Amino acid sequence: MKIEIKNRWSDEIIIAGEYASIKDALAKNRDKNLSGAYLSGADLSGADLSRAYLFGANLSRANLSRADLSRANLSGADLSGADLYLAVGVNKYLTTPLYSMLDQVGKIRAYKLVDQNGYGPWHKVIQYEKGGSYEVQDADTNENNQCGAGVNLATLDWVLREYVEGYRILIAEFTRKDIACIPISSDGKFRVHRCKIVGEKNIDELLKGD
């Protein structure tokens, strides 16, 4: 099939030709400069990308399970939402800035997106209210799962991306020991065992962006 891989910023064609798949095209061009390659959502499971130059590449939501990324240059690459299950050679600390929370002391704050009634938009199990404390005993600690059981919190930019009219953005407070899991390559979402809702953001101010 005809495969064409472009630079995510300039639209310049990096790879073009007849290949069995995108995975095949990358495997046969590992020594090529693939910086900035747009590979969002690509199925790269089991691909041999060792030593590939993928600086700044967009690999968001790509399936990289069991891929060999040993010595690959992934500096600046977007791995948000990528499936890295059993991938080899990935330094998880380069996949999301959320790991900085692990070095925080005292109270940490993040955000909880809820509907008008205080329930999470997708799983209406817990009703969150200002002043309330919440705990999930069996929070999922598997960092390969982007979503799982627990109190799911996120960065402000994440909740704003998912926001629709009528939703609310609550402010949650927790400590380092309350963190259940920071998923590898998270795009801003993580899970805690417990937290307290200490406030609510003003939606109108956030949407104005001032």
Radius of gyration (C-alpha) of the chain in whole angstroms: 19
Instruction: Choose one of 93, 122, 144: the last residue of a domain.
Output: 93
Question: What mean pLDDT value characterizes the chain?
Answer: 92
Domain holding 160: CATH number?
A: 3.20.170
Burial of residue 70, with CB atoms counted within 10 A of its CB: 0-12 exposed, 13-18 middle, 19 or more buried: middle
The answer, yes or no, to whether residue 32 has pLDDT greater than 70, is yes
Record the pTM.
0.78
Number of domains in the chain: 2
Overall average pLDDT of the 31-46 stretch: 93
Write out the residue range of the structural domain in which residue 63 sits: 1-93
Q: What tokens appear for 120 in the block?
A: 């999470």
The alpha carbon torsion through 178, 82, 80, 90 (nearest 10 deg) reads: 80
Are the C-beta atoms of 152 and 125 separated by less than 8 Å?
no
CA distance 80 to 92: 11
pLDDT tens for each residue of 149-188: 999 999 999 999 999 999 999 999 999 999 999 988 888 9
